[in-house]
Amino acid sequence: MSTEQARISELTVYAPASIGNLSVGFDALGLALAPMSGALLGDLVRLAPLDDAAGGDWQLETAGPFAADLPEDPEDNIVIASCRAYQAAAAERGVQVAPLKVMLDKRLPIGSGLGSSASSIVATLEALNRWPDHLLSTLDNFRLMAGMEGRISGEIHLDNVAPCLFGGLRLCPPGSQQEYALPWPGAWRAVVCWPGTKLVTREARAVLPDAVPRAVAVRHGAQFAQFVHALYSGKARLAGECIVDHIAEPYRRRLLPGFDEARVELRELGALAVGISGSGPTIFALVNDSDIARRVAAWMAEHYQQNDRGFVHICRADLGGARSIRAREPGR
């Protein structure tokens, strides 16, 4: 055990929520979110040594507003599965990773379209890789995160994992395990509303066709390319006009009661774009004015949020991604 490892008694990593797809980039774009209020919109994972009486296996404790929605059996929890996957990856490199106590503060609702599973996975694996020796390279750990996310959604796509880990707006070409940072207009705010209901990603993907007409594919590709060009050219208004979903939204909108009305009303309030976050049911609106952001948030809370479990946040882009927010040493 290294001197650094001997000093560590606790480590907490936070992984932010994210908007997958961002309408124009189906399965290829993701944006990390940071509420302007300063709230932590994302899961936290805390590591600590095992209690003497805990035995020699991973120990999971859960807390947070959405902990009750997690599987009762820890072995069915993606956090423990991620721990075992990390342990196996270390063993392949000839290193034995001792089990730890893992505490999940579940702050993102499951099935919300805000990258809930990605947040738990990224927080867990990033915490393990910081305890303390960075056994895996950033790329290897990223690939491990992608594989774990694939277990949840049924296939590997990085539009939540990449922004959650690295922050900002990320381009993640499907079929590869590469990601690229894209510029994000600093004045833009994303207003997100989770209505308080659940939509399983696998079910939302099941309504999509296996293929789209050539004209749709051409329009989608051209608009995606124009969006990236507009970002790099500093043409924020043009970029906003490009945020339209030709691939998934025409089919998924029927799964989201009130979405069609929301899109019309929020655009009339001044939103640059309105879309479905990930698979839904969360929706987002992009705005470039704080007064418009407040009006959009108020409309969402009154008309799209369906119960007290739901929420609305006005967010900026979280440029930090997953990060340690506390690491205590004995006596401190």
Q: How far apart are CA 178 and CA 191, in angstroms?
A: 28
Which band of pLDDT confidence, cut at 50, 70 and 90, is reported for residue 3? very low
- Out of 3-7, 96-100, 119-123, 155-159, least confident range: 3-7
Q: Which strands sit side by side in the sheet containing 323-326, from one edge to the other? A: 59-63, 101-105, 42-48, 11-16, 323-326
pTM, whole model, 2 decimals? 0.93
Summarised one tens digit per residue, pLDDT across range 142-154 is: 999 999 998 877 7
CB contact at 8 A, 113 and 39: no
Q: Mean pLDDT of all residues in the chain? A: 92
Q: How far apart are CA 17 and CA 118, in angstroms?
A: 8
More confident position, 174 or 231: 231
DSSP string, 100-169: -EEEEE--S-TTSSS-HHHHHHHHHHHHHHTTTT--S-HHHHHHHHHHHHHHHHSS---TTHHHHHH-SE
Rounded mean pLDDT, 235-258? 94
CA distances from 97 to 72, 94, 153, 256 (A): 25, 10, 27, 44
> What 3-state class would DSSP assign to 326?
strand
Of 275, 312, 269, the residue nearest 288 (C-alpha): 269
> What per-residue confidence (pLDDT) applies to 329?
35
- Out of 158-167, 180-189, 204-213, least confident range: 204-213
Amino acid at 75: E
Residue-range domains of the chain with CATH: 3-181 (3.30.230.10), 184-317 (3.30.70.890)
User: What is the distance in angstroms between the CA of the first residue and the CA of the last residue of the chain?
Assistant: 21
Q: In this prediction, what percent of the chain has a pLDDT beyond 70?
A: 94
> What per-residue confidence (pLDDT) applies to 54?
58
Summarised one tens digit per residue, pLDDT across range 279-303 is: 999 999 999 999 999 999 999 999 9
State the Cα angle at 236 between 230 and 239, rounded to 5°. Answer: 50
Element (DSSP H or E) covering residue 264: helix 259-268
Residue 167: both structure tokens together: 């922050």
Residue 183: both structure tokens together: 């510029």
Element (DSSP H or E) covering residue 88: helix 78-92
